[in-house]
Amino acid sequence: MSDVSLMVVEDDRLVLATVTQGLRQAGYEVHAADSGEQALELLEQADVDLVILDIRMPGLSGVELAERLKQRDIPFIALTAYSEEDLVLALGELGALCYLVKPVHMSQLIPAIETALYRARELVRLRRSEYHLSNALQGDRRVSQAVGLLMERYNLTSELAFGRLRGHARSQRRKLTDVAEELVNATNAVNILNPCETEK
């Protein structure tokens, strides 16, 4: 667990000290902040895998801090003395991986942390997969556009146009998607310079 870095944000200093000590004894690296403002300062200096934050704090509230964490893609667990449905829903929308009602014991907190860390890693994997899929679809779209341009300009079938595009990419030892994008961009530039051609 020593490679896991946590941050505990809690305005009650006794609770902060107790939770921080318990998590350190469990083998976690722990950063402690007694306000939302201090948490933001610490986050500028330290990489944190998970934030455990109290929702009801003076100054920058836990909900406001949760919004900042969401913007930075930092996962968090919410702690509060209250169980309010509206608050639970709001925190869920902000990306809370868990919601615990105080007082919380280590026997509850540690499994919640481990579950949240697992879910956070899964979300990162999903985002990466989505990014790669989006790039692949964008590349396929560019290839289709380039094939269409070659079909129109040289009166080719789609198979012949694709073969010509692929052959050109291979001869230059470049990715098919890069060559397709270059062709589409060049055609768009020519069309901008010669608008009469596109109006025919």
- 9 and 68 fall within a common domain: yes
- CA 177/CA 33 separation, integer angstroms: 48
Mean pLDDT of 63-87: 85
Is residue 116 in some structural domain? no
Is residue 182 in some structural domain? yes
CB 96 within 8 A of CB 76: yes
Is residue 125 in some structural domain? no
Is residue 193 in some structural domain? yes
DSSP 194: -
Question: 79: domain range?
Answer: 5-104
pLDDT in tens, 175-197: 888 888 888 888 877 776 665 55
- CA 75/CA 96 separation, integer angstroms: 7
Rounded to an integer, what is the distance from CA 185 to the centroid of its chain? 30
pTM strictly above 0.75: no
Residue 39 has pLDDT above 60, yes or no: yes
Among 87, 104, 121, give the residue marking a domain's end: 104
Helix (H, G, I), strand (E, B) or coil at 79: strand
What pLDDT is stored for residue 43 in this prediction?
A: 92
- CA 116/CA 5 separation, integer angstroms: 13
- 100 and 136 fall within a common domain: no
Question: For position 20, which CATH number holds?
Answer: 3.40.50.2300
Is residue 167 in some structural domain? yes
- 37 and 79 fall within a common domain: yes
Terminal Cα distance for the chain, rounded: 68
- 55 and 137 fall within a common domain: no
- 90 and 137 fall within a common domain: no
Is residue 63 in some structural domain? yes
Is residue 161 in some structural domain? yes
What pLDDT is stored for residue 73 in this prediction?
A: 87
Is residue 42 in some structural domain? yes
* CB within 8 Å of 145: residues ≥ 6 apart: 180, 184
